[in-house]
Amino acid sequence: MEQHKKNYTLPIIMMFALFAMISFVTGLANPMGVILKNQFAVPNWMSQLGNAANFIAYAFMGLPAGLMLQRIGYKKTALAAVAVGFVGVGIQYLSSLAGESGFAVYLAGAFVSGFSMCMLNTVVNPMLNTLGGGGKRGNQLIQFGGTLNSLSATIVPVLVGYLMGNAASATIGDAAPAMFIAMGIFAVVFVVLLSMRIPEPYGVTSEKKAERNEHSAMSFRHFVLGTIAIFVYVGVEVGIPNFMNLYATSDLGISATVAGALVGTYWFLMLVGRFAGGMIGAKFSSRAMITTVASLGIVLILLAVFLPRDIMVSMPVFREDISFGLFEVPIGVMFFVLCGLCTSVMWGGIFNMAVEGLGKYTSAASGIFMMMVCGGGILPLVQGVVADSAGYLTSYLVVLAGLAYILYYALFGSKNVNRDIPVGD
């Protein structure tokens, strides 16, 4: 029994690093949307295709990633994910050299990167939960990992916004340094991970032991509704900052650097919220937390959309010369930024409620959950169509509807009404 008391500090640090990489690469799609819109003169919905390609890859890779965990283990799956991520970002860089076909090449790179992000997510979440011993401690580690995820997401839009300079004339090549950084980090992580010993929580199962069950994870109503909630949540989380960036640079005429700083502040507030969630997660239920933040999010979006644009507030931002100071923006932008506090704890809370009481069906449920992350690509496309036809602010009604569903799930849909289904081994 002594082996169960091993020090897992180094594996935990590595999982935190991978958590940060997921956000860094995914976050590239936000400022790249502004570049694609201007460089290729495409409508708003097409500017979100890179983001869509990244997230839709989850729909294809969710279940295969789960099977990889079972067949080759956590370490090999993570190594494969890092290698695929390196290739995906490399293809995105090559799009800067492809001329008129650069748009299609970039989308291909974003799609390949999405495979990597899905594989990493499949590894990192259950691994941190296991290294923490499950329960509240496992949830706490996931929340703390989420803070690094948000820190990385905070840096990306600020960095790329600075590299872009004038958003109207920026090209994919201007973002190349950020892509080189991502590829460099992937290379370092691969080498370090290769030399580390990573515990295998459930072991590798090479034999094809197909146990037939009368039920599945999809037999639980609260899980089915939870998969819809996670689909909606990721779309909400991504849509708020993506369209705030487009709104700021296109409608308000704000520079790419300042707009990137505003988006970075949104992700920074997600970091703050996740850190706070990790601290108080042992005291409040997921249902109470999600009910609170979904309700607050609805209020913030309503204020952001309907308050007059001539009401101005000062917000701290980085300027074009990297000086730090206050910048006046319409008050609605501030409320969009504050939504980062609301979206911060939704992933962990929804996941926790959705898999409650699933027992032996939890592993399969995790793969299905990963597939539903594709909502981060599909809902922003819908929001883009609304933005093209009715304006950026009106497009946030899509976000509002998503938050309303999440509130419904927390209050009613998350209750397990299928307790009669046996979930033991």
Question: CATH code at 340?
Answer: 1.20.1250.20
- The residue whose two tokens read 């959309």 is 305
What is the bridge-based pairing of β-strands 324-330 and 312-318? antiparallel
- Report the pLDDT value the prediction gives residue 2, as an integer from 0 to 100: 42
- Report the pLDDT value the prediction gives residue 22, as an integer from 0 to 100: 87
Q: What does the alpha-carbon distance between residue 365 and residue 68 come to, in Å, rounded to a whole number?
A: 15
Nearest 5°: the CA angle 94, 95, 99 is: 115
Q: Is 324 helix (H, G, I), strand (E, B) or coil?
A: strand
- Report the pLDDT value the prediction gives residue 389, as an integer from 0 to 100: 95
Is residue 375 domain-resident? yes
SS (H, E, C) 150-180: HHHHHHHHHHHHHHHCCHHHCCHHHHHHHHH
- Report the pLDDT value the prediction gives residue 207, as an integer from 0 to 100: 46
Q: What does the alpha-carbon distance between residue 293 and residue 269 come to, in Å, rounded to a whole number?
A: 13
Q: Is 202 helix (H, G, I), strand (E, B) or coil?
A: coil
Burial class (CB in 10 A: 0-12, 13-18, 19+), 143: buried
Q: What does the alpha-carbon distance between residue 317 and residue 325 come to, in Å, rounded to a whole number?
A: 6
Is residue 402 domain-resident? yes
Q: Are 378 and 195 in contact (CB under 8 A)?
A: no
The dihedral region occupied by 333, where left means phi > 0, alpha psi between -120 and 50, and beta the remainder, is alpha
Is residue 208 domain-resident? no
Is residue 295 domain-resident? yes
Q: What does the alpha-carbon distance between residue 80 and residue 27 come to, in Å, rounded to a whole number?
A: 21
- Report the pLDDT value the prediction gives residue 307, as an integer from 0 to 100: 96
Count of beta carbons in the 10 Å neighbourhood of residue 5: 7
Is residue 424 domain-resident? no
Q: Which residues contact 102 (CB under 8 A, 6 or more apart)?
A: 39, 40, 95, 96, 172
Is residue 425 domain-resident? no
Q: Residue 42's closest CA among 114, 111, 108, 100?
A: 100
Q: What does the alpha-carbon distance between residue 312 and residue 330 come to, in Å, rounded to a whole number?
A: 4
Q: Residue 324 forms beta bridges with which residues?
A: 318
Domain span including residue 12? 7-198+217-413
Query: Rounded to 10 degrees, what is the CA torsion of 228, 233, 238, 239?
Result: 80
Indicate the DSSP class of residue 321: T
- Report the pLDDT value the prediction gives residue 363, as an integer from 0 to 100: 67
- Report the pLDDT value the prediction gives residue 201, as an integer from 0 to 100: 60
DSSP calls for 91-105? HHHHGGGSGGGHHHH
- Report the pLDDT value the prediction gives residue 208, as an integer from 0 to 100: 46
Q: How far is CA 148 from CA 20, 164, 185, 364, in A?
A: 5, 25, 15, 27
> In 281-320, which residue ranges form alpha helices assigned H by DSSP?
286-306
- Report the pLDDT value the prediction gives residue 213, as an integer from 0 to 100: 64
Q: What does the alpha-carbon distance between residue 213 and residue 390 come to, in Å, rounded to a whole number?
A: 49
- Report the pLDDT value the prediction gives residue 348, as an integer from 0 to 100: 80
Q: What does the alpha-carbon distance between residue 128 and residue 12 come to, in Å, rounded to a whole number?
A: 7
Q: Is 325 helix (H, G, I), strand (E, B) or coil?
A: strand
Is residue 420 domain-resident? no
Q: What does the alpha-carbon distance between residue 121 and residue 372 come to, in Å, rounded to a whole number?
A: 12
* Tens of pLDDT, residue by residue, the chain (425 residues): 344 456 678 778 888 888 888 888 888 887 888 888 888 888 888 988 888 898 899 888 888 887 887 788 888 888 999 999 999 999 999 998 988 888 999 999 999 999 999 888 888 877 776 677 655 566 667 767 777 777 887 888 878 877 776 666 778 888 888 899 889 988 988 998 888 777 776 555 444 444 556 778 889 999 999 999 999 999 999 999 999 999 999 899 898 888 888 988 998 898 888 778 877 766 888 899 999 999 999 999 999 999 999 999 999 887 766 677 889 999 999 999 999 999 988 988 898 899 888 877 776 787 788 889 899 989 999 999 999 999 999 999 999 999 999 999 999 999 998 888 887 75
Q: Residue 47's closest CA among 107, 98, 91, 95?
A: 107
Q: What does the alpha-carbon distance between residue 189 and residue 21 come to, in Å, rounded to a whole number?
A: 9
Q: What's the length of the chain?
A: 425
- Report the pLDDT value the prediction gives residue 6, as an integer from 0 to 100: 66
Amino acid at residue number 15: M
- Report the pLDDT value the prediction gives residue 212, as an integer from 0 to 100: 59
Is residue 40 domain-resident? yes
Q: Are 364 and 213 in contact (CB under 8 A)?
A: no
Number of domains, the chain: 1
Q: At what angle do helices 362-371 and 346-354 cross, to 10 degrees?
A: 140
